[in-house]
């Protein structure tokens, strides 16, 4: 799988030295730069989903029937925040053996996590077993033992697909490993989405220093389109639940970094789907297997399309290189798209 995913990846200097040594010795460079034929094909159909509390569901079979060059697991890929590492291992094994996961494996898969697969509900840097959880995450994805991803703290990563002129850089963030505690109010003062509120404390963080440094470098690498995968929503206004708006200084920092680039955000977490724009487009798809019990969304002045969707669903992002436009659709179990928006590339500039 990883040979197929080979592209431009930021590796630590030690890894690059090793690669150089291997190349000089006539050995394969771990497949890092040994581009598979698929790598040079432009990426056209990206499926993105989140929040899988079961791995047998009609929506998962429906997902396998949709066009796909790449699948993105955007977090809560398993629900394992109650039983420690043994439960995590058991749930990952179940996902890995599922018809759904086996069906995805003929094409590239990329993933990040959210709180329920990180191991602590609404959890962040304080979670004591985050290192162990990270090992299980990479084991699930068969990340090679010598992969630099296993050496770094946090599961953030970036990969580029497609030839020059049609490069898509997929940037998956880790919004858990380094995240400062949430600022909370009492239940009486809580909003519809929960009791978290925006903080003014600029020493708090979502991404943490090391990930910010990495991200800044990654965003300087050439690409025609950048797709940021964030488990939690980026664009919507604060709603009481988890979102970037709870850390306005971090939200502003990412927007500043993206300024002038063609970029968009994909997110999950909410157990409903909606499209928002707050300087950058944010397409939310959640949950793949669960019905949202309330059935109504929280207020969001940045919502672009009035319709939200609260039944099991997956997102499909189509890139039309000829027309220079993207179309994002949310699909439930029915044949027709539930939410749809077409955006010309020119409007994606942040």
Tally of CA atoms within 13 A in the half-sphere of 215 that contains its CB: 27
Q: How far is the CB of 267 from Fe ion (least distance, A)?
A: 12
Q: How far is the CB of 50 from Fe ion (least distance, A)?
A: 7
Instruction: Please answer whether residues 307 and 258 qualify as being in contact, where contact means their C-beta atoms are separated by less than 8 angstroms.
Output: no
Q: How far is the CB of 88 from Fe ion (least distance, A)?
A: 15
Q: Which of residues 77 and 180 has its CB atom nearest to Fe ion in the complex? A: 77
Q: Which of residues 76 and 242 has its CB atom nearest to Fe ion in the complex? A: 76
Pairing of strands 263-267, 225-230: parallel
Q: How far is the CB of 19 from Fe ion (least distance, A)?
A: 37
Neighbours of 106 (CB within 10 A): 11
Query: Could you tell me the two tokens for 348?
Result: 């994606």
Q: Cα(217)–Cα(230) distance, rounded to whole angstroms?
A: 18
Q: Which of residues 112 and 160 has its CB atom nearest to Fe ion in the complex? A: 112
Q: Which of residues 160 and 289 has its CB atom nearest to Fe ion in the complex? A: 289
Q: CA nearest 199: which of 236, 250, 234, 233?
A: 250
Query: Could you tell me the two tokens for 44?
Result: 């056209």
Burial 58-94 (b: 16+ CB within 10 A, else e): ebbebbbeeebbbbbbbbbbbbbbeeeeeebbebbee
Q: How far is the CB of 115 from Fe ion (least distance, A)?
A: 8
Instruction: Please answer whether residues 58 and 288 qualify as being in contact, where contact means their C-beta atoms are separated by less than 8 angstroms.
Output: no
Q: How far is the CB of 76 from Fe ion (least distance, A)?
A: 4
Query: Could you tell me the two tokens for 103?
Result: 């069906």
Q: Which of residues 39 and 76 has its CB atom nearest to Fe ion in the complex? A: 76
Q: Which residues are near Fe ion by CB under 5 A?
A: 51, 76
Q: Which of residues 51 and 243 has its CB atom nearest to Fe ion in the complex? A: 51
Q: Which of residues 51 and 218 has its CB atom nearest to Fe ion in the complex? A: 51
Q: How far is the CB of 54 from Fe ion (least distance, A)?
A: 12
59 by DSSP, 3-state: which? helix
Q: Cα(131)–Cα(152) distance, rounded to whole angstroms?
A: 10
């Amino acid at each position: 799988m990883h040979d197929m995913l080979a592209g431009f990846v930021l590796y630590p200097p030690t890894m690059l030295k090793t690669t150089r040594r291997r190349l000089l010795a006539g050995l394969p460079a771990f497949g890092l730069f040994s581009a598979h034929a698929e790598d040079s094909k432009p990426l056209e159909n990206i499926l993105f989903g989140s929040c899988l509390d079961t791995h047998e569901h009609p929506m998962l079979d429906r997902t396998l029937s949709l066009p796909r060059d790449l699948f993105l697991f955007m977090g809560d890929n398993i629900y394992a925040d109650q039983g420690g590492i043994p439960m995590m291992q058991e749930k990952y094994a179940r996902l890995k053996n599922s018809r759904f996961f086996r069906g995805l494996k003929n094409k590239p898969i990329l993933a990040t996590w959210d709180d329920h697969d990180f191991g602590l509900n609404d959890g962040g840097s304080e979670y004591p077993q985050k290192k162990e959880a990270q090992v299980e995450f990479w084991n699930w994805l068969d990340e090679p033992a010598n992969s630099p991803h296993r050496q770094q703290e946090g599961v953030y990563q970036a990969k580029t697909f497609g030839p020059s002129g049609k490069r898509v850089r997929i940037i998956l963030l880790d919004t858990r490993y380094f995240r400062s505690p949430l600022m909370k109010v009492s239940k009486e003062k809580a909003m519809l989405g929960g009791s978290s509120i925006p903080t003014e404390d600029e020493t708090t963080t979502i991404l943490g220093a090391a990930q910010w440094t990495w991200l800044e470098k990654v965003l300087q690498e050439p690409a025609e389109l950048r797709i940021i995968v964030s488990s939690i929503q980026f664009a919507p206004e604060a709603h009481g639940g988890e979102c970037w708006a709870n850390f306005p200084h971090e939200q502003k920092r990412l927007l500043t970094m993206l300024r002038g680039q063609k970029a968009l955000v994909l997110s999950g977490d909410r157990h409903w789907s909606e499209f928002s724009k707050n300087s950058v487009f944010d397409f939310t798809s959640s949950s793949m297997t669960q019905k949202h019990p309330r059935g109504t969304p929280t207020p969001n002045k940045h919502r672009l399309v009035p319709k939200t969707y609260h039944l099991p669903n997956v997102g499909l992002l189509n890139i039309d290189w000829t027309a220079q436009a993207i179309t994002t659709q949310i699909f439930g179990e029915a044949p027709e798209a539930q939410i749809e928006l077409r955006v010309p590339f020119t409007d994606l500039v942040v």
